[in-house]
Structure 1
Amino acid sequence: MAQFKVGILGATGAVGQKFIRLLQNHEWFKIEALGASERSAGKSYKQAANWIESIPMPEDVSGIEVRNCTASEFGDVDFVFSGLDSSVATEVEADFAKAGIPVISNAKNYRTDPTVPLLVPEVNPDHISMIDKQTFTEDGSGWIVTNPNCVAVPLVMSLKPLYDNFGIKSVILTSMQAISGAGYPGVPSLDILGNVVPFIGGEEPKIAAEPLKLLGRLNDGVLQHADFPIQATATRVPVLNGHMLSIAVQLEKEADAEEVKKALKEWKSPIGDLKLPSAPNFPLNVFDDDFYPQPRLHADSQKGMQTAIGRVRNSNVLSISYIAMAHNTIRGAAGGAILNAELLVKKNYIK
């Protein structure tokens, strides 16, 4: 496989740093350029970044000169990953796409655009054909693909086998979200130590809407969203990594806990035969032990790319309930975006 030159936008932030860490020694992708705000541009990455990852800053990026996040300064890359803040992502990502530089974004800004794929490769790989409807460039060379909210990923990974096998009428969930999901410096210590914060601004609408796009079906090139209500409560808990969800589902076709567990365990990833470097060998891990999954024990499973499921049981209110958990900054952010890029290489959208 040819090696592609990659740029990272928002490289000094928490998501940008995670991109840098995960791209070390990647088989297909090599970091060529780093972009950040004007105050960082012109400095070496070592000077510009307050490095918060748990490994030392990689030497091969520490001396790279940080660039402004403008397409004219990234003409030497094949595509960019965007870890930009939503306050600037709309204009910056569009400018890159219009310049013929594909954008694989972690930002929320284009997730609801009807021509932009909201992508989890194991759930909706066929949605990448939506790229063909984008009009950033006449020749189709520039486009945008997004990955979902960090809660939507384990939610939709767990719902996909149920949706396909039984259908879904409604979902109620409470998320217990790790503090790393708030970025850096994140949640004040006096708010979160020994405490649970029962609301995260802006999260619940995304959790309710994004799975419906992800589970949607293409009909003559037009995406028809799944149609069932999702009631979400988003909370912040004193856990470093790993968003845990307590989920209850009303199925269209009634099934008991053993049937649901069987469907989850027997589910096959549609990208399993593509040999993508970041794809987990076992995307779902269904536990029989009622004490699992736990963020501290399982968030890093399969290099942080696995969704863990446990406590599958019959519900006294809806059909079924269970726990799902995934690493929020890897599977739910930078790692998910890198997996998206790998799929786009395999499907010849990145050339």
Structure 2
Amino acid sequence: MNNSIRSFNSKGERIPVTVLGATGMVGQVFMWMLEIHPSFKVVSITAGDSRKGKSYREATRWQLPVPFPETYGRMPFSTLNDVLAAPTPIVFSALPAEIALKIEPMLAESGAAVFSNASAMRGKENVPILIPEANPGDLGRIKKQQWGSGGFIVTNANCATTGLAVALSPLRKFGIKDVFVSTCQSVSGAGYPGISHMDIAGNLIPFIENEEEKIKGELSAILHLYVPIFPSCVRVPVRFGHLETVWAKLGENVSTTDIRESWEKFKPPAHLPSLPETPVSYLSDPAQPQPALSFAGTPPGMAVFTGGLKKQGNRIGFILLVNNIVRGAA
């Protein structure tokens, strides 16, 4: 933690933060979640040059099924140069990867704590891909980062990886030997405006560039799980929510009751306002989970829903649902 953050914490004040890429789909989620967060206050936002001179309300085509953050509706946009000249203690980045690769290290060097949704810095030396419930200990790697003034970078995982990692994390104690996963990924995972209506309407696209490689690499890194992982990824004409079919071989011959109890007892490492009390919620209804539930739970969109649990020998199978832009991104 850098000194600026410590100073605000000691005074009990909300920490000033910046949101980079605030008008995009993930940026909108940042703004919505930060408006109601007790520890943070957005004081600056950035977006593309076309938004110059506009307020956040004027520049944003709101895409989410949650209320617009009116607290920040009149906020003007800062330039990236403005942010670099006077960085806030914390920066949340929803920048495109090619811009993030340049800007995020500069912010960290200036002393900012950068929390990034961009893929640019994932997998870089000593940059953790963090899911608080799954690998909180990896946060210690930021001490080895070589940025100035206590700055650091933390990234999240790919959206499809995140739900899978949360669901598998409490099952590691049974000795996971391999993982097969087939994803049905919503169009919002491609951003906005994303995929052409002509391509996706009434159709499925059985290819998402680099997605399978991301799942394999990130799942191994997050769970420290160095076993065969076999992903298949399909884009589907659903607006929000990724549905995944999972089969995993376990080293122990456990029952479905053991699996459900492990999910029920799985808790966050600390009480944090943005985390659900139960990260994995099992649904007994055989027709669930469905993407229509993507924004269910408290906080909305943060729980991973599972269902359809079954067992075949030492293999267990289940369906999971993850909100790709809330839990899986912001």
Q: TM-score scaled to structure 1, two decimals? A: 0.85
| Contact kept? 1:70, 1:96, Cα under 8 Å | no
How far does residue 116 in structure 1 lie from its aligned partner after superposition? 0.8
C-alpha distance 76-200 of structure 1, shift in aligned 2 (>3 A): closer
Matched letter for residue 69 of structure 2 = P
Please list every run of 5 or more consecutive structure 1 residues that lacks an aligned counterpart in the other structure.
217-225, 335-351
Task: Report matched runs for 1:155-174 at 5 Å.
Answer: 155-163=164-172, 165-174=173-182
Could you tell me which residue of structure 2 aligns to residue 260 of structure 1? 259
Matched letter for residue 227 of structure 1 = Y
| Contact kept? 1:256, 1:319, Cα under 8 Å | no
C-alpha distance 54-158 of structure 1, shift in aligned 2 (>3 A): closer
Deviations 1:289-319 (A, max 9, x none): 2221112135422211101111110137x61
Could you tell me which residue of structure 2 aligns to residue 281 of structure 1? 277
Which is further off, 112-121 or 69-78?
69-78
Matched letter for residue 199 of structure 2 = D
Matched letter for residue 269 of structure 1 = P
How far does residue 171 in structure 1 lie from its aligned partner after superposition? 0.6
Could you tell me which residue of structure 2 aligns to residue 323 of structure 1? 319
How far does residue 269 in structure 1 lie from its aligned partner after superposition? 3.1
Could you tell me which residue of structure 2 aligns to residue 178 of structure 1? 186
Measure the CA separation in 1 of the matches of 2:227 and 2:213: 14
Could you tell me which residue of structure 2 aligns to residue 152 of structure 1? 161
How far does residue 68 in structure 1 lie from its aligned partner after superposition? 1.7
How far does residue 56 in structure 1 lie from its aligned partner after superposition? 5.8
How far does residue 233 in structure 1 lie from its aligned partner after superposition? 0.8
Deviations 1:166-203 (A, max 9, x none): 11111111111111111111121122222211111121
C-alpha distance 72-262 of structure 1, shift in aligned 2 (>3 A): closer
Measure the CA separation in 2 of the matches of 1:72 and 1:7: 8
Matched, 1:232 2:240: no
How far does residue 50 in structure 1 lie from its aligned partner after superposition? 3.0
C-alpha distance 72-276 of structure 1, shift in aligned 2 (>3 A): closer
How far does residue 324 in structure 1 lie from its aligned partner after superposition? 0.9
| Contact kept? 2:121, 2:155, Cα under 8 Å | yes
Task: Report matched runs for 1:182-261 at 5 Å.
Answer: 182-216=190-224, 226-261=225-260
| Contact kept? 1:193, 1:238, Cα under 8 Å | yes
Could you tell me which residue of structure 1 aligns to residue 9 of structure 2? none
How far does residue 22 in structure 1 lie from its aligned partner after superposition? 1.6
| Contact kept? 2:116, 2:156, Cα under 8 Å | yes
Measure the CA separation in 2 of the matches of 1:34 and 1:8: 5
Instruction: Tell me which of 60, 67, 70 is aligned to 1:49.
Output: 60
| Contact kept? 2:87, 2:110, Cα under 8 Å | no
Secondary structure class of the residue paired with 1:333: coil
Measure the CA separation in 2 of the matches of 1:11 and 1:284: 29
Matched letter for residue 261 of structure 2 = K
| Contact kept? 2:19, 2:93, Cα under 8 Å | yes
Measure the CA separation in 2 of the matches of 1:230 and 1:67: 43
Could you tell me which residue of structure 2 aligns to residue 308 of structure 1? 305
Secondary structure class of the residue paired with 1:253: coil
Q: Percent identity?
A: 36
Matched letter for residue 156 of structure 1 = A
C-alpha distance 255-59 of structure 1, shift in aligned 2 (>3 A): closer
Could you tell me which residue of structure 2 aligns to residue 118 of structure 1? 129
Measure the CA separation in 1 of the matches of 2:258 and 2:145: 41
Measure the CA separation in 2 of the matches of 1:291 and 1:64: 43
How far does residue 48 in structure 1 lie from its aligned partner after superposition? 3.2
Could you tell me which residue of structure 1 aligns to residue 6 of structure 2? none
Q: CA RMSD in A?
A: 1.9
Measure the CA separation in 2 of the matches of 1:76 and 1:130: 23
Could you tell me which residue of structure 2 aligns to residue 221 of structure 1? none
Deviations 1:238-296 (A, max 9, x none): 2221111000101122323333233223333322xxx2111102211112222211121
Instruction: Tell me which of 282, 286, 293 is aligned to 2:289.
Output: 293
Which is further off, 292-301 or 80-89?
292-301
Please list every run of 5 or more consecutive structure 2 residues that lacks an aligned counterpart in the other structure.
1-11
Matched, 1:100 2:111: yes
| Contact kept? 1:35, 1:41, Cα under 8 Å | no
Which is further off, 56-65 or 123-132?
56-65
Measure the CA separation in 1 of the matches of 2:21 and 2:185: 23
Work out the number of aligned pairs and report it. 318
Could you tell me which residue of structure 2 aligns to residue 70 of structure 1? 81
How far does residue 131 in structure 1 lie from its aligned partner after superposition? 0.5
Matched letter for residue 30 of structure 2 = F
Matched letter for residue 311 of structure 1 = G
Matched letter for residue 113 of structure 1 = K
Measure the CA separation in 2 of the matches of 1:205 and 1:71: 36
Measure the CA separation in 2 of the matches of 1:153 and 1:30: 26
Matched letter for residue 180 of structure 2 = I
